[in-house]
Chain A
Amino acid sequence: MTQYTCLKIERHGKVGWLINNRPEQLNAMNNTMRDEFADAWLELDRDPAVRVIVHTGEGRAFQTGVDVSEIAGDGVGMERYRDSMENFDVHFTAWHQGVQKPVITAVNGLCAGGAFHWVADADVVIAASDAQFFDPHVSVGQVVAIEAIGLLRKMPFEAVMRMALMGRHERMPAQRAYELGMISEVVDPPERLRERAQELAETIARNSPAAMAASKRALWRALELGLTDACREGAKDLVSMWGHPDQTEGPAAFAAKREPVWADPVADSGSDSAPGPASDSAPGPG
């Protein structure tokens, strides 16, 4: 198991926790953290004891993008990311890593700039009532692209574009993020955020891991395709579960009024069935 210096990995029951842990730097992502994300997502996704993953931050910020002091301080600057970014070969979110388990992002405090990667790429997002969302890229001469693109496929466009163009000069409160559907729950008081995230994750963990993985795959792929194509591919996901033990266990448990006993999730069942970026420029599997 990897030792982490910029992240904390915890397990609470069936819930795996991935916690941004550079509170002094408002959880800004340096090189080390970037590499650790790649490992941490896979470690939790492959652990059969983990059914749902919660991602949150330590301290007064959830996350604030790339660590600008590292970029400014070592003479290499953004150039270090040129190859990986030009090829969009990045590995720091659950979506990038093809994580099959449900991922809940629990936004505490500041969520700025690059932090939207983990809002856009999560399955479920909740936020503390004191969370604040803003995207300062253009105020410091930077382009915002990937994280806003992910967001605008999932919520009203205008709000995303407004954040992109307002930069650091305006912040969106948690309540407005809730109204717009960027998040599904505001936790008040804010101190209850982790408790509520654990509770929500445990609730989701009561559902069939295999059915959730296939559903997640179908829904994320729908963001790659036109409506009819998305339905066609989704139909394959649907049929892929037929004959799976959970499909008989579910109705049986319901009829017997007992909690179902699901088959263990299959660790790393192969990239073909994983959600995540489409594998080539022809979107979606054939």
Chain B
Amino acid sequence: MSEAGYRTLVVERRGPVGWLVFDRPEAGNAMDATMLAELERAWSELDRDPEVRVIVNAANGPNFQTGLDVVQLSRDPEALREQSRRTKRAELRISAWHNDVSTPVIAAVNGACAGGGLHFVADADIVIAAANATFLDPHVSVGQVSAYEAIALTRKVPFEAVMRMALAGRHERVAAARAYQLGVVSEVVDPPEQLHERAQELAETIARNSPAAMAVSKRALWRALELGLTDACREGAKDLVSLWGHPDQTEGPAAFAARREPVWTTKATVPPTATAGLDAAPSARPPEPGGPR
């Protein structure tokens, strides 16, 4: 089932899995003003849908995502003015992390993932890549600064690899196999044509776990990138305790003991965080929109 009303994305459901697919293949899936606006809507729509247990972020065409549409930027800068403002204020709303998505997100990368496309790698929970995927950050080769995407990556993978990518610009690409070694991705799919099939399979596996427990775990782990170790553990402990008494906590062990598939509550039952962890953190994290949490 495909959602109507998107021009640059395909948004659809396949069983418990919501798909958010970049769909400007003729432009390397570069983000123009329309896509930037649609991304915010699509993340929110899929995250709020109680039937969607896991989200896959993928692409149509030979390349995953090549960042901001520089053609539009040079011909019609006015169209991107609002996004420039958001960039300046660290109020971007293009990735799952920007939009505070609490549903697990798998990025499935094929072909080139360049520049701003790295947002979707850095901000996903799980990343898999087709064997033909390549990663590069051409910002400095066209006189632009690499910041958000690379900063997020340095918190998640070895620093030197990110800095090298930022400095090598368009003159060097990181192959899927190297991205796997570095822990940027956890799986390389070969042949590349099986990428989407494998992403669906992986998503369905994850969809077997408790939505509430996953949402709270996800919140605890991402917050840990904002804080020192002890503070992150302290806040994480509150997350842990927040789910005690939730129906999934008895259903899980009961189903396990009875050797049956558990029946989880819908993801809207995730308890709100009782802490000021995020707000207290010295970060440029955008304020939380009033989401389902």
Which residues on A are within 8 Å of B, measured CB to CB? 68, 72, 78-79, 82, 85-88, 137-146, 148-150, 152-153, 155-162, 164-167, 169-170, 179-181, 220, 223-225, 277-278, 281, 283-284
B contacts with A, residue count (CB < 8 A): 57
Stretch at the interface among B4-12, B39-47, B223-231: B223-231
Q: Do A224 and B243 form a contact, CB below 8 Å, given A138-B210, A156-B182, A169-B205?
A: no
Nearest 8 pairs between A and B by C-beta?
A156-B183, A141-B252, A140-B252, A141-B248, A145-B236, A224-B228, A157-B156, A283-B228
Beta-carbon contact of B126 and A162 below 8 Å: yes
Chain A proximity mask over B69-95: 1 for CB below 8 Å, otherwise 0: 000000000000000000000000000
State in angstroms the CA–CA spacing of A170 and B206 once bound together.
Answer: 10
Beta-carbon contact of B244 and A78 below 8 Å: yes
Stretch at the interface among B25-33, B135-143, B166-174, B213-221: B213-221
Closest partner residue, chain A, to B209 (CB atom): A138
Asked whether B133 is an interface residue with its Cβ less than 8 Å from the other chain, the reply is: no
Q: Which of A141, A158, A159, A181 has the most CB of B within 10 A?
A: A141
**Which residues of B, 157-193, contact A by the 8 Å Cβ criterion?**
157-158, 181-186
Nearest-neighbour CB distance to chain B for A267, whole angstroms, equals: 24
Q: Provide the residues of chain B in CB contact with A86, threshold 8 Å.
A: 237-238, 241
Beta-carbon contact of B213 and A142 below 8 Å: yes
Q: Do A155 and B183 form a contact, CB below 8 Å, given A141-B248, A149-B236, A150-B233?
A: yes
Q: Which of A143, A161, A170 has the most CB of B within 10 A?
A: A143
Jot down 28 A-B pairs with beta carbons below 8 A, ordered by A.
Answer: A72-B253, A78-B244, A78-B249, A139-B252, A140-B255, A140-B256, A141-B243, A141-B250, A141-B252, A141-B262, A142-B213, A142-B252, A143-B239, A145-B216, A145-B239, A145-B240, A149-B233, A150-B233, A152-B221, A156-B156, A156-B182, A158-B127, A158-B186, A161-B125, A165-B104, A167-B208, A278-B229, A281-B231
State in angstroms the CA–CA spacing of A146 and B224 once bound together.
Answer: 9
Q: How many A-B residue pairs have CB under 8 A?
A: 180
Q: Which of A78, A150, A158 has the most CB of B within 10 A?
A: A158
Q: Provide the residues of chain A in CB contact with B229, threshold 8 Å.
A: 149-150, 153, 220, 223-224, 277-278, 283
The secondary-structure label for the interface of chain B is helix
Q: Provide the residues of chain A in CB contact with B246, threshold 8 Å.
A: 141
State in angstroms the CA–CA spacing of A220 and B230 once bound together.
Answer: 10
Q: Provide the residues of chain B in CB contact with A148, threshold 8 Å.
A: 217, 220-221, 224
Beta-carbon contact of A158 and B239 below 8 Å: no
Q: Do A143 and B253 form a contact, CB below 8 Å, given A86-B241, A165-B104?
A: no
Beta-carbon contact of B224 and A82 below 8 Å: no
State in angstroms the CA–CA spacing of A169 and B218 once bound together.
Answer: 17
State in angstroms the CA–CA spacing of A224 and B182 once bound together.
Answer: 24
Beta-carbon contact of B183 and A167 below 8 Å: no
